[in-house]
Amino acid sequence: MHRKKRYYQAQPLFYLRALTENDAPDVWSYLSRPEVVEHYGMDPLHNIKEAVEEIQWYHDIESDGTGCRFAIVLQHNDRVIGSCGFHNWHQKSGRAETAMELHPAFWGRHIMTHAMHVILEYGFRAMHLEIITALVKSENISSQRLMEKLHFQRTQIVKDGVYSYYLSKKDWQIRQDPERYFSIWKKKPEAFIT
């Protein structure tokens, strides 16, 4: 009998939490790399002060109710290796845009796929989103593949080779496979976002 591949680990590799100013050196370590921000619509950070400003922006969008951002933190050493979350949150319409980034040393390990499953579940359940969108540059093949893995639908080129993707709550619920994305967590995602 063929067994379904599981993503389970005895201890989760990472967890999600709010970013703090103390995370600035880690944030700088990946947002200062051109290969991380080339598809992100920003220049590489030049110093730790700019990383502090980026973290402050994450706090600002949460304070004004237009988004939220979570650090992706390695379990064994508490090092921040990336972030993911929402911005452009329109609470009345139940829409928000998602974005993410990850330190290149951790690319290709399915970390962002797992983190985004948790973030999407958080968006649909805790934030009561109905539609989650994403903008991805046409040359950013890895992010396009991530959107496909997460069952986002590509709609059109918005401008300058940027694709628009969307995922509805209804489509997410139809495609849910709780074993797939809960199995790496000890508890349901809400408990792992601290």
- pLDDT 10s digits, 9-61: 444 688 899 999 999 999 999 999 999 999 887 899 999 999 999 999 999 99
| pLDDT above 70 as % of the chain | 83
Amino acid at residue number 76: H
Which has the higher per-residue pLDDT, 108 or 32? Answer: 32
- pLDDT 10s digits, 62-77: 999 999 999 999 988 9
* pTM of the shown model: 0.84
pLDDT score for 7: 36
Mean pLDDT taken over the chain: 85
89: Cβ contacts below 8 Å, ≥ 6 apart:
61, 65, 66, 67, 68, 95, 96, 97, 127, 129
Q: Residue 186: pLDDT above 70?
A: no
HEC profile of 64-80: CCCCEEEEEEECCCCCE
Q: In the chain, what is the greatest distance between 2 CA atoms, to the nearest angstrom?
A: 56
Q: Which long-range contacts (CB under 8 A, 24 or more apart) does 187-194 make?
A: 189/117, 189/118, 189/121, 189/122, 190/122, 190/125, 190/126, 192/12, 192/15, 192/16, 192/118, 193/16, 193/17, 193/70, 193/118, 193/122, 194/15, 194/16, 194/17, 194/18
Q: Residue 150: pLDDT above 50?
A: yes
Amino acid at residue number 41: G
The span from the CA of 68 to the CA of 126, in Å, is: 12
